[in-house]
Amino acid sequence: MKTISIEMKEDAYEAFKNFLHLLPQDSFVIYDDDDTPQERERAIVHRYNEQIDSGTLDAFESFEKMKNGLRA
């Protein structure tokens, strides 16, 4: 099976799910993303991207430090 992710407005979501049910039952699986961990992960990624964009790299370990740790 292949996987796609689609983000859409709430009012379109139900219509889209109904459309999918026109397909054979064993041809798809719907994974609702109402999961809090997924939202938390997105927030973390967003925060890291903001830090990278602003040049604040304190949250990231230095490559040199990592490289030296591997040689120990």
pLDDT at 45 over 70: yes
Highest averaged pLDDT of the listed ranges 1-5, 6-10, 33-37: 6-10
Region of 69 on the Ramachandran plot (φ > 0 left; ψ -120 to 50 alpha; else beta): alpha
Provide the token pair at 3: 């996987």
The DSSP string of 21-66 is TTS-GGG--------HHHHHHHHHHHHHHHHHHHT--TTS--HHHH
In this predicted structure, the answer to whether residue 72 has a pLDDT above a threshold of 60 is no
**% of the chain beyond a pLDDT of 70:** 92
10-17 long-range contacts (CB < 8 A, ≥24 apart) are none
In the predicted model, what is the mean pLDDT of the chain?
81
Under the banding of pLDDT at 50, 70 and 90, the label for residue 55 is confident
